[in-house]
Structure 1
Amino acid sequence: MTLSTLKKGESALILDFKDLSDSFSRRLYDVGISIGSEVTMLNILNFGQLFYISIDDVDFCIRKQDAKKITVEKL
Structure 2
Amino acid sequence: MTLATLKKGDRAIITSFNELSESFSRRLYDVGIAIGSEVTLLSVLNFGQLFYISIDDVDFCIRKQDATKIMIERI
Q: TM-score, normalised by structure 2?
A: 0.99
Higher share in helix: 1
Q: Percent of aligned positions with the same letter in both sequences?
A: 76
Aligned residue in 1 for 2:40: 40
Question: Deviation above 3 Å: which 4+ runs of structure 1?
Answer: none
Computed over aligned residues only, the root mean square deviation of the Cα atoms, in angstroms, reads: 0.2
Superposed counterparts of 1:1-75, under 5 Å: 1-75=1-75
Aligned equivalents of 1:70 and 1:51: distance in 2?
A: 12
Question: Per-residue displacement from partner, 1:38-71 (whole Å, max 9, x unpaired)?
Answer: 0000000000000000000000000000000000
For structure 2, the 5+ residue unaligned runs are: none
What is the aligned residue count? 75
Give the TM-score of the pair, scaled to structure 1.
Answer: 0.99
For structure 1, the residue ranges without an aligned partner over 5 or more in a row are none
